[in-house]
Structure 1
Protein backbone atom coordinates (compact mmCIF):
# COMPACT_ATOMS: atom_id res chain seq x y z
CA UNK A 1 0.00 0.00 0.00
CA UNK A 2 1.13 3.50 -0.74
CA UNK A 3 1.98 5.39 2.51
CA UNK A 4 0.78 8.67 1.01
CA UNK A 5 -2.77 7.30 0.76
CA UNK A 6 -2.74 6.26 4.44
CA UNK A 7 -1.85 9.69 5.83
CA UNK A 8 -4.72 12.03 6.70
CA UNK A 9 -5.54 14.69 4.14
CA UNK A 10 -3.96 18.08 4.70
CA UNK A 11 -6.38 20.94 5.31
CA UNK A 12 -7.07 23.31 2.45
CA UNK A 13 -5.82 26.89 2.59
CA UNK A 14 -9.41 28.01 3.34
CA UNK A 15 -9.93 25.38 6.04
CA UNK A 16 -10.62 26.67 9.56
CA UNK A 17 -8.03 26.26 12.30
CA UNK A 18 -8.89 23.05 14.15
CA UNK A 19 -7.17 24.15 17.37
CA UNK A 20 -8.33 26.51 20.08
CA UNK A 21 -6.37 29.78 19.91
CA UNK A 22 -6.07 29.82 23.72
CA UNK A 23 -4.94 26.30 24.69
CA UNK A 24 -3.82 25.05 21.24
CA UNK A 25 -5.69 21.78 21.80
CA UNK A 26 -7.66 20.22 18.98
CA UNK A 27 -11.39 20.81 19.07
CA UNK A 28 -13.63 17.85 19.87
CA UNK A 29 -17.30 17.27 20.61
CA UNK A 30 -17.24 17.24 24.41
CA UNK A 31 -15.37 19.83 26.53
CA UNK A 32 -13.35 21.24 23.64
CA UNK A 33 -16.37 21.94 21.46
CA UNK A 34 -15.70 24.91 19.15
CA UNK A 35 -17.89 27.73 20.53
CA UNK A 36 -18.32 30.89 18.49
CA UNK A 37 -18.59 34.33 20.06
CA UNK A 38 -20.61 37.18 18.48
CA UNK A 39 -17.39 38.55 16.96
CA UNK A 40 -17.08 35.19 15.09
CA UNK A 41 -13.89 34.18 16.92
CA UNK A 42 -13.97 30.56 18.06
CA UNK A 43 -12.56 28.99 21.23
CA UNK A 44 -13.10 25.68 23.00
CA UNK A 45 -15.81 25.43 25.65
CA UNK A 46 -13.22 24.49 28.30
CA UNK A 47 -11.19 27.70 27.78
CA UNK A 48 -14.32 29.85 27.74
CA UNK A 49 -15.45 28.21 30.99
CA UNK A 50 -12.05 28.86 32.59
CA UNK A 51 -12.27 32.51 31.48
CA UNK A 52 -15.83 32.85 32.78
CA UNK A 53 -15.01 31.37 36.17
CA UNK A 54 -12.25 33.96 36.68
CA UNK A 55 -14.26 36.84 35.19
CA UNK A 56 -15.88 39.55 37.31
CA UNK A 57 -18.73 39.58 34.75
CA UNK A 58 -20.36 36.11 34.85
CA UNK A 59 -23.09 36.97 32.33
CA UNK A 60 -20.71 37.73 29.43
CA UNK A 61 -17.46 36.64 27.80
CA UNK A 62 -14.87 39.08 26.51
CA UNK A 63 -13.09 37.84 23.38
CA UNK A 64 -9.37 37.43 24.14
CA UNK A 65 -8.51 38.42 20.56
CA UNK A 66 -10.61 41.50 19.79
CA UNK A 67 -12.00 42.32 23.30
CA UNK A 68 -15.62 42.47 22.11
CA UNK A 69 -18.17 41.31 24.68
CA UNK A 70 -20.58 38.46 24.02
CA UNK A 71 -23.53 38.17 26.40
CA UNK A 72 -24.11 34.58 27.47
CA UNK A 73 -27.34 32.78 26.53
CA UNK A 74 -29.98 32.35 29.23
CA UNK A 75 -29.10 28.67 29.71
CA UNK A 76 -25.40 29.45 30.03
CA UNK A 77 -22.05 29.08 28.34
CA UNK A 78 -22.62 25.67 26.69
CA UNK A 79 -25.54 27.18 24.74
CA UNK A 80 -23.22 29.50 22.76
CA UNK A 81 -23.35 28.64 19.06
CA UNK A 82 -21.04 25.87 17.86
CA UNK A 83 -18.86 26.72 14.88
CA UNK A 84 -20.34 24.49 12.14
CA UNK A 85 -17.39 25.06 9.78
CA UNK A 86 -14.96 23.59 12.32
CA UNK A 87 -17.31 20.75 13.29
CA UNK A 88 -17.59 19.75 9.63
CA UNK A 89 -13.81 19.16 9.51
CA UNK A 90 -13.84 16.84 12.54
CA UNK A 91 -14.16 13.08 12.04
CA UNK A 92 -17.77 12.04 11.46
CA UNK A 93 -18.08 10.43 14.90
CA UNK A 94 -17.11 13.75 16.50
CA UNK A 95 -19.63 15.90 14.65
CA UNK A 96 -22.37 15.01 17.15
CA UNK A 97 -21.84 17.40 20.05
CA UNK A 98 -22.58 16.08 23.54
CA UNK A 99 -24.85 18.06 25.81
CA UNK A 100 -22.74 19.72 28.49
CA UNK A 101 -23.81 21.83 31.46
CA UNK A 102 -21.65 24.42 33.21
CA UNK A 103 -21.86 25.01 36.94
CA UNK A 104 -19.97 28.29 37.45
CA UNK A 105 -20.27 28.25 41.25
CA UNK A 106 -18.48 24.88 41.38
CA UNK A 107 -16.21 25.59 38.41
CA UNK A 108 -17.29 22.41 36.67
CA UNK A 109 -18.27 21.31 33.17
CA UNK A 110 -20.33 18.11 33.11
CA UNK A 111 -21.68 15.91 30.32
CA UNK A 112 -25.45 15.61 30.81
CA UNK A 113 -25.54 12.01 29.69
CA UNK A 114 -22.67 9.61 29.21
CA UNK A 115 -21.58 8.63 25.68
CA UNK A 116 -23.53 5.64 24.41
CA UNK A 117 -22.09 2.14 24.00
CA UNK A 118 -21.80 2.59 20.23
CA UNK A 119 -19.42 5.55 20.55
CA UNK A 120 -15.84 5.26 19.41
CA UNK A 121 -13.45 3.94 22.09
CA UNK A 122 -11.70 7.31 22.49
CA UNK A 123 -15.07 8.96 23.18
CA UNK A 124 -15.98 6.41 25.86
CA UNK A 125 -12.79 7.20 27.79
CA UNK A 126 -13.62 10.90 28.13
CA UNK A 127 -14.43 11.90 31.69
CA UNK A 128 -18.02 12.95 32.34
CA UNK A 129 -16.92 16.08 34.21
CA UNK A 130 -14.09 18.60 34.15
CA UNK A 131 -12.93 20.96 36.87
CA UNK A 132 -12.19 24.41 35.35
CA UNK A 133 -11.21 26.12 38.61
CA UNK A 134 -12.87 27.95 41.45
CA UNK A 135 -14.61 31.25 40.73
CA UNK A 136 -12.86 34.46 41.82
CA UNK A 137 -13.16 35.02 45.53
CA UNK A 138 -13.37 31.31 46.35
CA UNK A 139 -10.56 29.14 47.58
CA UNK A 140 -9.69 26.31 45.21
CA UNK A 141 -8.45 24.16 48.13
CA UNK A 142 -11.98 23.47 49.40
CA UNK A 143 -12.24 20.28 47.37
CA UNK A 144 -10.20 18.26 49.84
CA UNK A 145 -6.98 18.34 47.82
CA UNK A 146 -3.74 18.66 49.74
CA UNK A 147 -1.98 21.95 49.22
CA UNK A 148 1.59 21.94 47.95
CA UNK A 149 1.09 18.80 45.84
CA UNK A 150 2.33 19.10 42.26
CA UNK A 151 -0.55 18.23 39.97
CA UNK A 152 0.18 17.64 36.29
CA UNK A 153 -2.18 19.72 34.22
CA UNK A 154 -3.86 18.79 30.97
CA UNK A 155 -2.71 22.14 29.55
CA UNK A 156 -0.08 21.58 26.82
CA UNK A 157 2.03 24.50 28.05
CA UNK A 158 2.39 22.98 31.53
CA UNK A 159 3.35 19.59 30.14
CA UNK A 160 5.99 21.14 27.89
CA UNK A 161 7.40 23.19 30.77
CA UNK A 162 7.57 20.16 33.07
CA UNK A 163 9.13 17.94 30.40
CA UNK A 164 11.69 20.62 29.51
CA UNK A 165 12.60 21.03 33.19
CA UNK A 166 13.07 17.27 33.59
CA UNK A 167 15.28 17.05 30.49
CA UNK A 168 17.41 20.01 31.64
CA UNK A 169 17.78 18.45 35.08
CA UNK A 170 18.92 15.15 33.55
CA UNK A 171 21.44 16.94 31.34
CA UNK A 172 22.78 18.87 34.34
CA UNK A 173 23.11 15.69 36.42
CA UNK A 174 24.89 13.94 33.54
CA UNK A 175 27.35 16.84 33.22
CA UNK A 176 28.04 16.76 36.98
CA UNK A 177 28.68 13.00 36.91
CA UNK A 178 31.02 13.32 33.92
CA UNK A 179 32.88 16.18 35.66
CA UNK A 180 33.29 14.14 38.85
CA UNK A 181 34.57 11.07 36.96
CA UNK A 182 37.39 12.99 35.26
Structure 2
Protein backbone atom coordinates (compact mmCIF):
# COMPACT_ATOMS: atom_id res chain seq x y z
CA UNK A 1 0.00 0.00 0.00
CA UNK A 2 1.57 3.28 -1.10
CA UNK A 3 -0.33 5.17 1.63
CA UNK A 4 1.05 3.10 4.52
CA UNK A 5 2.25 5.31 7.40
CA UNK A 6 5.88 5.45 8.47
CA UNK A 7 6.29 2.72 11.08
CA UNK A 8 9.30 4.26 12.78
CA UNK A 9 9.78 7.39 14.87
CA UNK A 10 11.22 10.32 12.88
CA UNK A 11 13.41 11.27 15.87
CA UNK A 12 15.06 8.00 16.99
CA UNK A 13 14.25 5.84 13.93
CA UNK A 14 13.06 3.01 16.21
CA UNK A 15 10.13 0.88 15.12
CA UNK A 16 6.90 1.88 16.84
CA UNK A 17 5.53 -0.62 19.37
CA UNK A 18 2.88 -0.77 22.10
CA UNK A 19 5.08 0.02 25.10
CA UNK A 20 7.64 2.86 25.31
CA UNK A 21 7.74 3.43 21.54
CA UNK A 22 3.98 3.86 21.25
CA UNK A 23 3.14 6.18 18.33
CA UNK A 24 1.73 9.41 19.80
CA UNK A 25 0.15 11.97 17.50
CA UNK A 26 0.49 15.69 18.19
CA UNK A 27 -2.18 18.31 17.34
CA UNK A 28 -0.21 19.14 14.17
CA UNK A 29 -0.76 15.48 13.09
CA UNK A 30 2.95 14.57 13.28
CA UNK A 31 3.65 11.26 15.06
CA UNK A 32 6.58 10.41 17.36
CA UNK A 33 7.23 7.69 19.90
CA UNK A 34 6.36 8.22 23.56
CA UNK A 35 10.01 7.74 24.61
CA UNK A 36 11.25 10.58 22.38
CA UNK A 37 8.44 12.89 23.49
CA UNK A 38 9.28 12.09 27.13
CA UNK A 39 12.98 12.85 26.51
CA UNK A 40 11.98 16.17 24.91
CA UNK A 41 9.60 16.97 27.77
CA UNK A 42 12.13 16.41 30.56
CA UNK A 43 14.54 18.82 28.84
CA UNK A 44 11.84 21.41 28.13
CA UNK A 45 11.32 24.50 30.26
CA UNK A 46 7.61 24.23 29.37
CA UNK A 47 6.50 20.93 30.95
CA UNK A 48 2.83 21.37 30.01
CA UNK A 49 3.38 21.45 26.23
CA UNK A 50 5.36 19.61 23.57
CA UNK A 51 6.84 21.47 20.61
CA UNK A 52 6.81 19.44 17.40
CA UNK A 53 10.39 18.97 16.19
CA UNK A 54 9.20 19.09 12.56
CA UNK A 55 6.82 22.05 12.32
CA UNK A 56 7.50 23.71 15.73
CA UNK A 57 3.76 23.82 16.57
CA UNK A 58 2.87 23.43 20.25
CA UNK A 59 0.61 20.69 21.61
CA UNK A 60 -0.72 21.16 25.17
CA UNK A 61 -0.35 17.99 27.22
CA UNK A 62 -3.44 16.27 28.66
CA UNK A 63 -4.17 16.71 32.37
CA UNK A 64 -3.01 13.16 33.12
CA UNK A 65 0.27 13.74 31.28
CA UNK A 66 2.26 12.75 28.26
CA UNK A 67 1.18 9.08 28.02
CA UNK A 68 -2.42 10.30 27.60
CA UNK A 69 -1.63 11.99 24.28
CA UNK A 70 -3.64 10.36 21.51
CA UNK A 71 -2.18 7.20 20.01
CA UNK A 72 -1.79 7.18 16.23
CA UNK A 73 -4.39 4.49 15.49
CA UNK A 74 -3.40 4.32 11.81
CA UNK A 75 0.19 3.42 12.71
CA UNK A 76 -1.01 0.96 15.38
CA UNK A 77 -3.24 -0.76 12.81
CA UNK A 78 -0.14 -1.62 10.75
CA UNK A 79 1.65 -3.24 13.71
CA UNK A 80 1.36 -7.00 14.35
CA UNK A 81 -1.91 -7.96 16.04
CA UNK A 82 -0.15 -8.66 19.36
CA UNK A 83 1.12 -5.05 19.43
CA UNK A 84 -2.19 -3.34 18.79
CA UNK A 85 -3.12 -3.24 22.48
CA UNK A 86 -1.20 -0.33 24.02
CA UNK A 87 0.17 -0.77 27.54
CA UNK A 88 -0.73 1.68 30.24
CA UNK A 89 2.37 3.80 30.87
CA UNK A 90 3.04 6.29 33.68
CA UNK A 91 5.44 9.22 33.15
CA UNK A 92 7.17 10.71 36.18
CA UNK A 93 8.78 13.88 34.82
CA UNK A 94 10.49 14.75 38.14
CA UNK A 95 12.38 11.45 38.10
CA UNK A 96 12.70 11.32 34.31
CA UNK A 97 11.11 7.87 34.09
CA UNK A 98 8.54 6.09 31.97
CA UNK A 99 7.03 3.09 33.76
CA UNK A 100 4.68 0.31 32.68
CA UNK A 101 1.67 0.77 34.96
CA UNK A 102 -0.23 -2.47 34.41
CA UNK A 103 0.81 -5.56 32.50
CA UNK A 104 -2.27 -7.43 31.26
CA UNK A 105 -2.28 -11.12 32.21
CA UNK A 106 -2.65 -11.88 28.50
CA UNK A 107 0.92 -10.64 27.93
CA UNK A 108 3.31 -12.49 30.24
CA UNK A 109 6.06 -12.22 27.59
CA UNK A 110 6.42 -8.48 28.26
CA UNK A 111 8.20 -9.10 31.52
CA UNK A 112 10.93 -11.03 29.72
CA UNK A 113 11.28 -8.82 26.63
CA UNK A 114 10.75 -5.23 27.80
CA UNK A 115 12.02 -3.35 30.81
CA UNK A 116 9.29 -2.22 33.20
CA UNK A 117 10.85 1.27 33.52
CA UNK A 118 12.82 3.51 31.18
CA UNK A 119 15.07 6.38 32.26
CA UNK A 120 14.61 9.36 29.91
CA UNK A 121 16.95 11.82 31.67
CA UNK A 122 16.89 14.52 34.33
CA UNK A 123 14.31 17.31 34.11
CA UNK A 124 15.49 20.66 32.74
CA UNK A 125 17.56 22.52 35.32
CA UNK A 126 18.30 19.43 37.40
CA UNK A 127 21.31 18.05 35.48
CA UNK A 128 24.08 17.06 37.82
CA UNK A 129 22.01 17.54 40.97
CA UNK A 130 21.74 14.79 43.51
CA UNK A 131 18.60 12.71 42.96
CA UNK A 132 16.10 11.99 45.73
CA UNK A 133 16.74 8.30 45.24
CA UNK A 134 20.18 8.59 46.88
CA UNK A 135 22.15 8.56 43.62
CA UNK A 136 25.80 9.60 43.61
CA UNK A 137 26.50 13.29 43.37
CA UNK A 138 28.32 14.05 40.11
CA UNK A 139 31.04 16.59 39.74
CA UNK A 140 30.62 19.18 37.01
CA UNK A 141 33.62 17.70 35.18
CA UNK A 142 32.11 14.19 35.20
CA UNK A 143 28.79 15.55 33.98
CA UNK A 144 30.52 17.43 31.16
CA UNK A 145 32.65 14.43 30.21
CA UNK A 146 29.54 12.26 29.80
CA UNK A 147 28.25 14.54 27.05
CA UNK A 148 29.50 13.29 23.65
CA UNK A 149 29.90 16.77 22.16
CA UNK A 150 31.83 18.00 25.21
CA UNK A 151 34.13 14.96 25.12
CA UNK A 152 34.97 15.67 21.49
CA UNK A 153 35.52 19.36 22.25
CA UNK A 154 37.78 18.65 25.23
CA UNK A 155 39.80 16.08 23.29
CA UNK A 156 40.17 18.55 20.40
CA UNK A 157 41.31 21.30 22.77
CA UNK A 158 43.86 18.97 24.41
CA UNK A 159 45.23 18.09 20.95
CA UNK A 160 45.43 21.77 19.92
CA UNK A 161 47.14 22.79 23.18
CA UNK A 162 49.62 19.91 22.77
CA UNK A 163 50.48 21.03 19.23
CA UNK A 164 50.88 24.66 20.33
CA UNK A 165 53.12 23.68 23.27
CA UNK A 166 55.21 21.49 20.97
CA UNK A 167 55.67 24.39 18.54
CA UNK A 168 56.57 26.77 21.39
CA UNK A 169 59.16 24.28 22.73
CA UNK A 170 60.68 23.81 19.26
CA UNK A 171 60.90 27.57 18.67
CA UNK A 172 62.43 28.29 22.11
CA UNK A 173 65.01 25.51 21.67
CA UNK A 174 66.18 26.95 18.31
CA UNK A 175 67.26 30.24 19.90
Task: Give the TM bin, normalised by the shorter chain.
Answer: 0.7 to 0.9
Matched with 1:135 is 123
Note the C-alpha offset of 1:36.
0.2
Max radius of gyration: which structure? 2
Matched with 1:14 is 3
Tell me the distance in 2 between the aligned counterparts of 1:131 and 1:123.
17
Tell me the distance in 1 between the aligned counterparts of 2:119 and 2:104.
19
Contact 2:67 2:89 in 1 (8 A): yes
Secondary structure at 1:142's aligned position in 2?
Answer: coil
Contact 1:93 1:120 in 2 (8 A): no
Matched with 1:64 is 53
CA-based RMSD of the aligned residues comes to: 2.1
Matched with 1:30 is 19
Contact 2:98 2:118 in 1 (8 A): yes
Note the C-alpha offset of 1:58.
0.5
Tell me the distance in 2 between the aligned counterparts of 1:120 and 1:101.
19
Alignment TM-score, normalising by the size of structure 2: 0.72
Secondary structure at 1:112's aligned position in 2?
Answer: strand
Structure 1 runs not aligned, ≥5 long: 1-11, 150-157, 159-182
Structure 2 runs not aligned, ≥5 long: 149-175
- Runs of 4+ in structure 1 over 4 Å off: 145-149
**CA 1:92/1:103 → structure 2, altered by over 3 Å: closer, same or farther?**
same
Tell me the distance in 1 between the aligned counterparts of 2:85 and 2:60.
25
In the comparison of the two structures, how many residue pairs are matched?
138
Tell me the distance in 2 between the aligned counterparts of 1:59 and 1:139.
20
Superposed CA offset, 1:157-181 (max 9, x none): x9xxxxxxxxxxxxxxxxxxxxxxx
Secondary structure at 1:88's aligned position in 2?
Answer: helix
